[in-house]
Amino acid sequence: MKHERETLEAVIAARNSAINASSRAVQNPGDPQAMQQLGNAEGVLTGALSRLMVLSESYPELKADRAMTQVMEELSSTENRIAFARQAFNDAVTLYNTKSESFPSNLVANTFNFTVAELLAEATPEMRNAPRVSF
């Protein structure tokens, strides 16, 4: 039971860390350190969620539980939403950077000292794919 509790606590801590990193990134999207911290926090969250899924597969009675099935579906859905939000953010940053460097909008950008925004890079290759949920 101790291992299960530690896994759940790790997922909760990783989730809270990702939320905090997201808040910092939203407040200052041009800060490369904030973007790096957000990518790292999401990587830790993905790892913790993977451990939770492995733990659930170790217990057949847990896998068969309806509540656990719903949790696994929600985890998969959350991973997909994170990937979609990351792509939408990167698209917006690319558009912003392109506009701020293109004439005539670059005149305004240079006048008001707009900075180049950093893309949110994926920290690990496994962050590219939603976790597989199998029962």
Question: Please, are residues 34 and 28 in contact by the beta-carbon 8 Å criterion?
Answer: yes
* pLDDT recorded at residue 135: 43
Beta strands in 1-135 (DSSP E): none
Q: What is the pLDDT of residues 2-23, one digit of tens each?
A: 556 777 788 788 888 888 888 8
Express as a percent the part of the chain with pLDDT over 70: 76
CB atoms within 10 A of CB 93: 18
CB atoms within 10 A of CB 53: 19
The pTM of this model reads: 0.52
Q: What is the pLDDT of residues 45-77, one digit of tens each?
A: 888 877 777 776 666 655 556 776 777 777 778
Tokens 């985890």 belong to: 75
